[in-house]
């Protein structure tokens, strides 16, 4: 069984390649390396002891997609490729709609040409918008609040329409909560370009001295300690969720959303404390104003993934911090170290 992984050189994609290969699948990667480096795939190869066929192409290049489907017998696709920075998406929305929507449209067209109708799509908890009701359940109303979120919402709608038109498709819409952590080897992990937008890479870059202190965006939320609460999930648990979702897609037809989270909330200060515990490094911080658009609390009801996919997150916050620290300490400048 061969799985095409778009965006396979990226953070979640590289960890998913490892777990898929370890589960007996062949993988083929397409990535334009816009937000990643070929070094991550070399390290994936070192972990699994196997070459990973790699096409350095844009998913919006239909001829490249056709070449991949011609040269490889692809059984299913996992579509990670896309732009993902919420703040940036408000500054350059057209680039986000162009990359995320066009890449998905072209991918679906070429998949249909080659009669490959099994897709696992990287959606996001952001499609729930600013819901006040927690935990978030898959059948709740959707309503993204920024251009990035809307690209995910629009793609989900496209996939629902596609299935309504042809029930031979198998479409798993994975709504990730907050992926953090790294592979247990410490050789692959999150490698953001520039100053990180997200909390965990920011904390770990403070820990290695690349940044002076953490800015905590608001301490007056209605939460346990006033700081924002999120459902952090270990990236390897997430990767294992993809292995289960591919198996589901190979055996069923349907168009189904699944929350991939732990179902547990953790505040900014709780995550900082857990990281200090795991690393033995003090993280200085200052309280800064709230970040516009940030909800106070977000966490998943992950029971559907357990019931239907047989998947459940296994790793706790302490493990997420230990693994992040191992990666960051060994690679203070990411893949450029």
**CB-CB contact of 305 with 242 (8 Å):** no
Closest approach, Cβ 223 to ligand UFG, in A, equals 9
Of 29-37, 276-284, 288-296, 298-306, which segment contacts ligand NAD by CB under 6 A? 29-37
Say whether residue 86 binds ligand UFG (CB under 6 A): yes
Over the window 106 to 135, marking each residue x when it contacts ligand NAD by CB under 6 A and - when it does not, the resulting string is: ----------------x-x-----------
Q: How far apart (Å, rounded) are the C-alpha atoms in residues 230 and 222? A: 13
- Could you tell me the CA-to-CA distances from 157 to 154, 164, 168, 194 in Å, in that order? 5, 11, 17, 32
Beta strands of the chain (E only): which ranges? 2-6, 26-30, 54-55, 76-79, 118-124, 170-176, 178-180, 214-217, 229-230, 232-234, 254-260, 266-267, 285-288
Residue 103 touches which member of ligand UFG, ligand NAD, none, C-beta under 5-8 Å by kind: ligand NAD
Residue nearer to ligand NAD on the CB measure, 33 or 281: 33
Length of the chain: 337
- Could you tell me the CA-to-CA distances from 33 to 29, 135, 177 in Å, in that order? 11, 35, 24
Q: Which of 96, 176, 202, 258 binds ligand NAD (CB under 6 A)?
A: 176
Kindly identify the residues of this chain, within the stretch 226-265, that bind ligand UFG according to CB under 6 A: 228, 230
Say whether residue 150 binds ligand UFG (CB under 6 A): no
Residue 31 touches which member of ligand NAD, ligand UFG, none, C-beta under 5-8 Å by kind: ligand NAD
Q: Which of 216, 239, 243, 266 binds ligand UFG (CB under 6 A)?
A: 216
**CB-CB contact of 179 with 235 (8 Å):** yes
Say whether residue 305 binds ligand UFG (CB under 6 A): no
Examine the residue annotation and report whether 153 is marked as an active-site residue of this protein.
no
Q: How far is CA 270 from the centre of its chain?
A: 22
Over the window 32 to 61, marking each residue x when it contacts ligand UFG by CB under 6 A and - when it does not, the resulting string is: ------------------------------
- Could you tell me the CA-to-CA distances from 198 to 87, 89, 126, 181 in Å, in that order? 11, 15, 14, 12
Residue nearest to ligand UFG (CB): 228
The tokens describing 296, both together, are: 């106070």
Give the footprint of ligand UFG on this chain (CB under 6 A): 84, 86, 124-126, 176-178, 197-199, 202, 215-217, 228, 230, 268, 291, 294
């Amino acid at each position: 069984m061969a799985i095409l992984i778009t965006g396979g050189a990226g953070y979640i994609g590289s960890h998913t390649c490892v777990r898929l290969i370890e589960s007996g699948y062949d993988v083929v990667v397409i990535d334009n390396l816009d937000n990643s480096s070929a070094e991550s795939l070399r390290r994936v190869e070192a972990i699994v002891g196997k070459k990973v066929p790699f096409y350095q192409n844009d998913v919006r290049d239909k001829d490249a997609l056709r070449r991949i489907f011609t040269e490889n017998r692809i059984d299913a696709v996992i579509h990670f490729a896309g732009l993902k920075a919420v703040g940036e998406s408000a500054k350059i929305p057209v680039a986000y709609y162009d990359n995320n929507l066009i890449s998905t449209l072209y991918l679906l067209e070429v998949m249909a040409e080659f009669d490959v109708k099994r897709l696992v799509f990287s959606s996001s908890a952001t499609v729930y918008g600013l819901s006040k009701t927690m935990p978030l359940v898959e059948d709740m109303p959707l309503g993204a609040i920024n251009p990035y979120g809307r690209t995910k919402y629009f793609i989900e709608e496209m996939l629902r329409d596609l299935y309504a038109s042809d029930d031979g498709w198998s479409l798993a819409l994975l709504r990730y909560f907050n992926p953090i952590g790294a592979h247990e080897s410490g050789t692959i992990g999150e490698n953001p370009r520039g100053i990180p937008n997200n909390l965990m890479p920011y904390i770990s870059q403070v820990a290695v001295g690349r940044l002076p202190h953490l800015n905590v965006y608001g301490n007056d939320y209605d939460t346990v300690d006033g700081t924002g609460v999120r459902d952090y999930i270990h990236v390897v648990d997430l990767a294992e969720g993809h292995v289960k979702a591919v198996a589901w897609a190979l055996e069923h037809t349907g168009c189904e959303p699944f929350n991939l989270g732990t179902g547990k909330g953790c505040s900014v200060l709780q995550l900082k404390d857990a990281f200090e515990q795991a690393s033995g490094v003090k993280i200085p911080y200052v309280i800064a104003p709230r970040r516009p658009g940030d909800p106070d609390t977000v966490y998943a009801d992950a029971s559907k993934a357990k019931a239907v996919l047989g998947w459940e997150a296994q790793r706790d916050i302490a493990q997420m911090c230990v693994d992040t620290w191992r990666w960051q300490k060994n690679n203070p400048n990411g893949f450029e170290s």
